[in-house]
A and B are shown apart, each in its own frame.
Chain A
């Protein structure tokens, strides 16, 4: 029986009132904070890849609390590296360095961090509220979205490959095609045919996506951290000034926060954009619209911190709109989140809105609560967190390797998984080195199986006439328009995030 959305929202909140769920949320917040503050190399994709094998064996809500808690907070606390070290933060906080670091050097590091936390918290709440408002709008989609429509939505998601590849579309296509190929390993659902199994029981169900993700993002990152020895040579800016000056700045610039938050939500919803561009778009918007920006931006203007940070945090709400309500991921982190949901038996998309609305609201609540906790953590522990940023790579690298191998083994307790994780890790290292975008491969892997099923079912049920269904036509037009616009914007924008993805794959 379907329940009203209000009841679902109330139930979603009530479901969180369990010690283990709240504890998992706090652990997630801690992991997210650590990830954001510790030296580069630990991005959210890596954290998700490492957590996935563990949490898919938990109860869904506990696992979701951990994952969403981590990703939600990592954006809020991402300003430490740009402000204190002048290192562009993880995806979404790269633009913060332009004004954050000059502020830090000028003795206003605390003010910059305060502005960042406050703007981030406000952005997170705006993104979450937008998600809440989008849920009722998504309900009628349930009756419109059959296999043909879902196939087009998946195609729309896969079109992201072109964007993820930046200026190397051919390499992106190769990586995505390899992901699609890997998705075919195992028994084909519609025919029962074993593909690429070679009579090996290990391959009957295909290769675990969580192991591949762990390998592709974990091992190259750990190697990179060891080889570049980040966190050793940089001298931090002094942690001076007042956090509350930054809070006042954000509150005074509330309209900028609102505008940039909606830029973030929009980036989250439109396929192909992501955390690699959200901060730059918001920064660009602020630079064009703020009074006196031409003179002050780039020299330590607090508005240059507020704009990217609010947009970056609001983007998560937009990401979840497409992930939960339409069922296609916006990047690696949401792709891995979908992998987790599938492992728990939930099929993200219109079906989930109908069958598990309380779970969707639980996710919304977790997102909101984590945002608030993250903001508070930022304020209360700013001094201690700044010390974390100086953590040495010699400590991080062994820990990372240990968790990667343990994580891989914990999936099935099959020693073959260790061989697989190391093999794909080596592949990931070379992909990174030669500029083949790993997110494109993960995307192909996650979407490949679903796309194949939806296309097969569409053809079997309707023949080619499914292409003329009104909802399919509308979705195809939308997909093509957003693809062309995004690609054009990307090419006009020069290097942009495509390069950063190719090298660092930091997008969410």
Chain B
């Protein structure tokens, strides 16, 4: 009996070993959920722009770092400043971890400011981070306007400040600069496209504008080389992140006179820092959220991703990790009085009194 038992034990052991060799995944682990699956990324924009390129830079790395190496495809759902895509992700997309949204930062600010057409709750999405979060806005005036210092800016009345449409971040920043710098009855002229605004500034149709520091460095080098514009102030996002080209410019928060002023800057920074959020619909199983968050985390840390991103977009990435993203959303100031004054500040009417 002892011998038979021993033999049986050996046979059983051998069969077990054979089973392990033949079907290792069945024995040790389940196949990764994403193996053989397709993830759809729904963009809240048209294809082909910088936003699209930012996502495309991520794709090969996501595919590499999400266990199971799923196929990833893109769908485009432009409309309403990403409202349409965000509404779709929130209301209609299946929460199975196979649909990811990538929307503009407007999706965050529109919800916080309570704009129309919002059918989603910002706090119920799962966040997967953003490939960029740093931004430096500068306030500039054309040299010929003779506004070479902040004192001259303040002394002049009715400065014409050009901007894109109401609701655009650069419009908000132009208003914020004008408000905190204490300009006298500035006149805001919106409704320019990005391509129209710089020529309008050079032509003298507008006197000043807010723009991205990187945009000036990359696309308007002649402004710097020929001294065609005066630089007055900068808004750093995140706070304290100095721009290498403009380290000497005063930061806009230094012009804040009250706690309320500071909260307005913090709110605008919070909108900027969320970048172009990757989101998952509410109800997505927690373990799939974690798998995806880890995939994004590894991607954002891969030096090769930095090279690919720079190659496709021309910009340096400044990734926001998933946990930092969730924190940034949580910490957005939402006190009604701050929101109320911010809405007046970035609206179409005159600037609110300080």
Residues of A within 8 A of B87 (CB): 201
Q: A189 touches which one: B75, B77, B78, B165 (CB < 8 A)?
A: B165
Q: A347: CB under 8 A from chain B? A: yes
Residues of B within 8 A of A187 (CB): 165, 167
Q: A192 touches which one: B47, B78, B347 (CB < 8 A)?
A: B347
Q: B80: CB under 8 A from chain A? A: yes
Within the complex, the shortest CB–CB distance from A196 to chain B, in Å, comes to 13
Q: Which of A81-89, A311-319, A455-463 contacts B (4 or more CB under 8 A)?
A: A455-463
Q: Which of A139-147, A331-339, A380-388, A489-497 contacts B (4 or more CB under 8 A)?
A: A139-147
Within 8 A of A (CB), among B337-354: 347-348
Q: B190: CB under 8 A from chain A? A: yes
Q: A369: CB under 8 A from chain B? A: no
Q: B199 touches which one: A142, A201, A457 (CB < 8 A)?
A: A142
Q: B323: CB under 8 A from chain A? A: no
Within the complex, the shortest CB–CB distance from A64 to chain B, in Å, comes to 14
In whole angstroms, how far apart are the Cα atoms of A154 and B80 in the complex? 27
Q: B55: CB under 8 A from chain A? A: no
Within the complex, the shortest CB–CB distance from A198 to chain B, in Å, comes to 10
Q: A167: CB under 8 A from chain B? A: no
A345 and B49 within 8 A (CB): yes
Q: A194: CB under 8 A from chain B? A: yes
B160 and A461 within 8 A (CB): yes
Within the complex, the shortest CB–CB distance from B270 to chain A, in Å, comes to 20
Q: A146 touches which one: B76, B77, B203 (CB < 8 A)?
A: B203
Given the known interface contacts A205-B80, A412-B77, the answer about A457 and B189 at a Cβ–Cβ threshold of 8 Å is yes
A23-54 Cβ-contact flags toward B at 8 Å (1 or 0): 00000000000000000000000000000000
A191 and B206 within 8 A (CB): no
A201 and B79 within 8 A (CB): yes
Within 8 A of B (CB), among A187-204: 187-194, 197, 199-202, 204
A347 and B195 within 8 A (CB): yes
Within 8 A of B (CB), among A163-190: 187-190
Given the known interface contacts A189-B165, A197-B116, the answer about A460 and B189 at a Cβ–Cβ threshold of 8 Å is yes
A201 and B117 within 8 A (CB): yes
B203 and A199 within 8 A (CB): no
Q: A59: CB under 8 A from chain B? A: yes
A457 and B192 within 8 A (CB): yes
Q: A108: CB under 8 A from chain B? A: no
Residues of B within 8 A of A412 (CB): 77-79
B49 and A199 within 8 A (CB): no
In this complex, what residue of A is CB-closest to B84?
A201
Within the complex, the shortest CB–CB distance from B40 to chain A, in Å, comes to 12
In this complex, what residue of B is CB-closest to A449?
B191
Q: A351: CB under 8 A from chain B? A: yes
A201 and B119 within 8 A (CB): yes
B190 and A147 within 8 A (CB): no
A461 and B190 within 8 A (CB): no
Given the known interface contacts A190-B348, A199-B116, A460-B189, the answer about A57 and B196 at a Cβ–Cβ threshold of 8 Å is no
In this complex, what residue of B is CB-closest to A349?
B196
Q: A453: CB under 8 A from chain B? A: yes
Residues of B within 8 A of A453 (CB): 191
Residues of A within 8 A of B347 (CB): 192
Q: B291: CB under 8 A from chain A? A: no
> What are 21 A-B pairs at a CB distance below 8 A?
A142-B199, A143-B203, A146-B203, A146-B205, A189-B166, A190-B165, A191-B348, A192-B166, A201-B80, A201-B83, A201-B87, A204-B80, A344-B48, A347-B193, A351-B195, A351-B199, A412-B77, A413-B77, A457-B192, A457-B200, A457-B205
Q: Report the 8 A-B pairs with minimum CB-CB distance, sorted nearest first.
A: A192-B166, A204-B80, A189-B165, A189-B191, A191-B348, A190-B191, A460-B189, A453-B191
- Taking A192-B348, A204-B84, A345-B195 as known contacts, 19 extra A-B pairs with beta carbons closer than 8 A to each other, sorted by chain A number, are A147-B205, A188-B166, A189-B164, A189-B190, A189-B191, A190-B165, A197-B117, A201-B83, A204-B80, A204-B117, A205-B80, A344-B48, A347-B193, A347-B196, A354-B199, A412-B78, A413-B75, A460-B187, A461-B160
Residues of B in contact with A (beta carbons under 8 Å apart): 46-49, 75-81, 83-84, 87, 116-117, 119, 160, 164-167, 187, 189-193, 195-196, 199-200, 203, 205-206, 347-348
